């Protein structure tokens, strides 16, 4: 079991940067694949980025590739999403999610593949 709490959202201007954090409870954080998703008003929740349990592998949605970076600190039970060159279309509620990797190297990108979710943090980018 793991509980997730996101933070770091806010209101910024286009071109600015933000770093989101997701703090996880539990002693087995390092065994979870961690993902970031986002949901804009009136739209489906969509995949943003994922990182392997070790931090050695990452994968991004095309819409954020080259601008966002996912990372994790297993000693702090925290996963981060560094967001640079933000655009108005990045406006959404951002959620972190955890999937028990059980040693697998598979990087999940679908909502149903994740069993644990945070409450979300709002990111608003003004033009």
Cα separation, 61 vs 96, whole angstroms: 15
Determine the pLDDT at residue 63: 98
Q: What Å distances lie between residue 90 and 11, 68, 96, 106, 113, CA to CA?
A: 11, 11, 15, 26, 23
Query: How many residues in total does the chain contain?
Result: 127
**pLDDT tens, 19-53?**
999 999 977 888 899 999 999 999 999 999 999 99
Average pLDDT of the chain, as a whole number: 95
Q: Do residues 70 and 50 make contact, with C-beta atoms less than 8 angstroms apart?
A: yes
For the chain (length 127 residues), average pLDDT per consecutive 10? 95 98 90 96 97 95 98 96 98 97 88 96 97
């Amino acid at each position: 079991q793991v509980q997730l709490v996101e933070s770091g959202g806010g209101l910024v201007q286009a071109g600015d940067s933000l770093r989101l954090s997701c703090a996880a409870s539990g002693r087995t954080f390092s065994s979870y694949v961690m993902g970031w998703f986002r949901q804009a008003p009136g739209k489906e929740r969509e995949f943003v980025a994922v990182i392997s349990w070790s931090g050695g592998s990452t994968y991004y949605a095309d819409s954020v590739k080259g601008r966002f970076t996912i990372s994790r600190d297993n000693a702090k039970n925290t996963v981060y999403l560094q967001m640079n060159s933000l655009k108005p279309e990045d406006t959404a509620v951002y959620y972190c999610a955890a999937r028990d990797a059980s040693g697998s190297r598979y990087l999940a990108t679908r909502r149903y593949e994740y069993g644990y979710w945070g409450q979300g943090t709002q990111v608003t980018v003004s033009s």
